[in-house]
A = this chain, B = another copy of it.
Amino acid sequence: MSSSTTSPLRVVVWGENRHEQVEPHVAAIYPDGMHATIADGIGENLADGASITTVTLDDPEHGLTEEVLAATDVLVWWGHAAHGEVADEVVDRVHRHVLSGMGLLVLHSGHWSKIFGKLMGTTCTLRWRNDRDRELVWTVDATHPITQGVPNPIVIDAQEMYGETFDIPAPDELIFISSFSGGEVFRSGCTFRRGHGKIFFFSPGDQDYPVYHHKDVRRVIANGVRWAASDFPREVPTLLRYDSGDFFNGHGYGRAIADADAEQTPEPARG
């Protein structure tokens, strides 16, 4: 858990920032970009407990350099129309940092982002409809830190419908389930642990609706940011050899095949 009494959480909100450029109705709802609205909501709820910056797809390296990530406690991700434009190299870097302990929030259409898919290992597909359904976000786990301070249910007057079956691994914790006017349901609040990192997926939010201005949605995102942060030193899990009886001194990996010079050290397949 983060020690927020002295140093604020360092939060980066990543926004694709494409819809805002080309769709006037989106720009009208989010004049500074969805990412700015999301960042405001976090700041409003965490106050001095968080130091928040925003970066976008079109920044160099999408704003996610090694230096930025090393100094980020929690990354918040919203993307939709340009998942394919996120460079694989940056995705790998973000992935490595999550596995090392950086928290990650994935919002709405981020379900189809490369980073979420890489962490989940599944297609992350779902049902959908964009037709102003009312969404009710119901609490399944009333004592979870992420569900604190919001009504049960959260009422969102107009939203894009996401429906089961949502192709994700069974979440480590299921904390919200949503229903929509049309009758569909969706596991809208899910937590996952991957490596040393904590991930929170929260589905409400679509560029066509002012969802990120919604008081309760902003509260949940802030709760999620605080939950996802970690004190644990940033380090990626590593394969080490241990001699018999020596539990505390691990040795780095040598050669897989001793008798063949041609064989190289297996590179880790990921991370």
Chain B: CB-nearest residue to A246: B182
Chain B: CB-nearest residue to A259: B23
A151 within 8 A of B: yes
Contact of A269 among B81, B83, B238 (CB under 8 A): B83
A68 within 8 A of B: no
Given contacts A83-B269, A127-B250, A128-B240, 7 further A-B contacts (CB under 8 A): A19-B257, A99-B122, A113-B269, A129-B242, A138-B163, A143-B196, A151-B248
A230 within 8 A of B: yes
Chain A 2-31 interface 0/1 with B at a Cβ cutoff of 8 Å (1 = within): 000100000000000011001110000000
A112 within 8 A of B: yes
The contact size tier of chain A is 35 or more
Which listed segment binds B: A35-43, A165-173, A212-220? A165-173
Q: CB-CB < 8 A to A112: which residues of B? A: 239, 266, 268-269
Contact of A182 among B81, B84, B178, B245 (CB under 8 A): B245
Q: Which 5 A-B pairs have the closest CB atoms?
A: A81-B256, A123-B271, A167-B237, A22-B260, A125-B239
Q: What are 11 A-B pairs at a CB distance below 8 A?
A: A19-B257, A80-B266, A81-B257, A101-B143, A113-B269, A120-B121, A123-B268, A125-B239, A127-B242, A127-B250, A151-B248
- Whether the Cβ atoms of B22 and A263 lie closer than 8 Å is yes
| Nearest chain B CB to A167 CB, angstrom units | 4
- Whether the Cβ atoms of B165 and A122 lie closer than 8 Å is no
**A155→B183 CA distance, assembly (Å):** 10
Contact of A177 among B99, B164, B172, B181 (CB under 8 A): B164
Chain B: CB-nearest residue to A258: B23
* Contact status of A270 and B128, CB under 8 A, knowing A22-B259, A81-B257: no
Which listed segment binds B: A47-55, A59-67, A69-77, A186-194? A186-194
**A271→B120 CA distance, assembly (Å):** 12
* Contact status of A99 and B123, CB under 8 A, knowing A22-B259, A192-B169, A242-B163: yes
Q: CB-CB < 8 A to A177: which residues of B? A: 164, 177, 185, 187
- Whether the Cβ atoms of B126 and A239 lie closer than 8 Å is yes
